[in-house]
A and B are shown apart, each in its own frame.
Chain A
Amino acid sequence: MAENIPSLPGGAVPPKPPEGSKVQPKKETVRINLPPKPSAAPTIKLPTLPPGGPTAGAPSSFPPPTQIATPTGSKAAAAPVAPRPSPSRAPAPAPRPAVSALDKALAVVAAIVVIAAAVSTFLCMNVLNHDGLP
């Protein structure tokens, strides 16, 4: 039976360590699965300022509060958020300003000037036709 066992090729034999070298132990480890580290530390949300602006006792050095997502998303940690104006409550567009009396007067004057110019042109043409022609 022994002669039926093929000899291993030369490449399958692990290379011998060089003489005199000290064998280093394998860097053996065991992989472990632990819950991932929270990506962000819990944040403290500052209370939102009332719509009227900061009160006299409120600290003014705080930066404006930013919405930072908490990893847990607990409802208890959620700070009250100032209500945003809904689209239906958006202020109506400002009414168009009424035509002032000055505008009306200027319009009337312009109309009169145009009519006078047309009449004078017509009269001048008549005068030239009667006087200029032989």
Chain B
Amino acid sequence: MASSNIIILTKDNFAKQVLNSATPVLVDFWAEWCGPCKMIAPVLDELADEYSGKVAIAKVNIDENQELATEYGVRAIPTLLIFQNGQVAEQIVGLRSKRDLKASFDKLT
């Protein structure tokens, strides 16, 4: 079960939830049929709970929001974009460990 702290993004709420967010936001571009995406999902759920209030974690289903994936040049999934002050601060492509992601978060906070 996905964490309640995970934000589901669409093109309608992307600007409000990500670009105008006061806290860093990790955006996970994923798809249902993507195995590595499913593998990283529980890690992101845990991080969403651990970093609640400090780093927001959001998801973009690329099948439902191709425009967003195209906008940010997503060519492979999972792609994790960390936004800070409306700008892409870090791009992570592929499966990563929880420790690596925490290290990226700790650099931002």
Contacts and interface: CB of A to CB of B under 8 A. Distances in A.
Interface size class on chain A is 10 to 19
Q: A-side binding surface: helix, strand, loop or mixed? A: loop
Interface string A41-74: 0000000000000000000000000000000000
Contact of A32 (B31, B94, B97): B31
Interface in A32-46: 32, 34-37
Contact of A34 (B34, B37, B39, B74): B74
A24 interface: yes
Interface size class on chain B is 20 to 34
Nearest to B92: A27
A29 B70 contact: no
9 contacts: A25-B95, A30-B35, A30-B77, A32-B31, A32-B69, A32-B74, A34-B66, A34-B70, A37-B73
Interface of A: 24-32, 34-37
